[in-house]
A and B are shown apart, each in its own frame.
Chain A
């Protein structure tokens, strides 16, 4: 069985946030909700100052703490390793949110659906068709665009990236692009000290 994962190439990421927009569009995310973020960090002193961009996303951990603490079983792992949230079972207790070391969980506040993307209270037809998939109050997160993966496509953030800084594929397949990249460029998972066994890796 496949074990889907992602690799971020920090040297390739230019911080354009196209992935963030692609994700929001694919998943019809309301104002203030992000399944992926591109963080930045400055370092050094002028004239040697620089900035690095660090994309973040749900790491779909093999030993997912969010799944372990969920009191309803709403969070579960698919056979292909994608950690999912069953919207119909989630009670919005946020226990998963305080258990995730990467702070990748977001509660879908009812107000964010009501105010609309432009903050005027007017809901566009695009928003109307998209918001129906969420229950206000539940806690959600990235699911690697599971609907696209099921159709044999890459997640929206991956196909939107103009520099191929995000590589998606089967980590159990030694010939897959992410497996090769992890092997050849010493990929590292985020915060390995948390022992969550992430399926997202970073290379430089």
Chain B
């Protein structure tokens, strides 16, 4: 059965696949901001780049809450989302994200103005803040992938590859942006690391497509939507070509050239944004066709 033969019921009262439309583009933007910012902060922390840390905290503290709240039905009650860390990845993520903003801001303050208050850069407090901020950055980089993979309803999301995708994209975009910042230091090493991360991203996409194609009917339908419908041009054009292949070729050809680094970074960001939107668009609920006992096809 090809994608043309499948029934997409939409809002009609027919048995068929139903598109996931509860998490829309604003959620995709929120996910993008959190993973980009946390990734940049994490890589900057490892490279001791304060400018990168500050820049990383900006989308985490502004874009992520803005787009998340604009998606929420009752934003005034959003604090309640932190109440169930024992069972919900949304709660864990919110707590991790808030802690990242708190620890990250305190760390940046200590690194910039700490000496005025007698806090040295290698003091126990700063080291503790670095460890905590690093842990909470890792939580923010991955929790959205865990939240999606927790959903058994959307088969293509219900995979261990989703948290890996969040982590890899977060790390990749973080390295790509840090590469452009002044004082990043060791840009050739960063460019080499970015090349490896792009390779890992390519493998991750292959794994997800393979797992979906050979998975449940819902997962296969999502992969078919991605590869055979109007989403295909965005996936191949932005996510694969502009987001992985072009940056890879440019960085392999001229890793130290600022122009190639800039184009590579823009391509990676565009590919990541496209991927974040597409993974929501291709999510489908499976039809309850197995319930039709009269249909000999089932």
Contact = CB atoms under 8 A, between A and B. Distances in A.
A93 B73 contact: yes
A94 B293 contact: no
B284 to A, nearest CB: 10
A100 interface: yes
Given A138-B73, A188-B291, A98 B88 contact: no
A25 interface: no
B74 A37 contact: no
B81 A41 contact: no
B72 A137 contact: yes
A39 B14 contact: yes
Contacts of A98: 20, 22-23, 148, 151, 153-154, 157, 283
B151 to A, nearest CB: 5
A18 interface: no
A20 to B, nearest CB: 9
A6 interface: no
Interface residues of A, number: 50
Interface residues of B, number: 48
Instruction: Tell me whether chain B's interface is mostly helix, strand or loop, or mixed.
Output: loop
B152 A99 contact: yes
Instruction: Tell me whether chain A's interface is mostly helix, strand or loop, or mixed.
Output: loop
B253 interface: no
Nearest to B91: A71
B266 interface: no
B90 A52 contact: no
A69 interface: yes
B74 A138 contact: yes
A204 B80 contact: no
B119 interface: no
Nearest to B19: A103
Interface of B: 9, 13-15, 18, 20, 22-23, 71-75, 77-78, 80-84, 87-91, 94, 147-148, 150-154, 157, 216, 283, 285-286, 288-297
Interface of A: 10, 37-41, 43, 50, 52, 54, 56, 65, 68-74, 89-95, 97-103, 105, 107-108, 135-139, 188, 190-191, 193-196, 202, 204
19 contacts: A10-B291, A39-B14, A43-B296, A52-B295, A70-B88, A89-B77, A92-B72, A92-B74, A93-B81, A98-B151, A99-B151, A100-B153, A101-B286, A102-B153, A103-B18, A103-B153, A135-B74, A190-B290, A194-B152
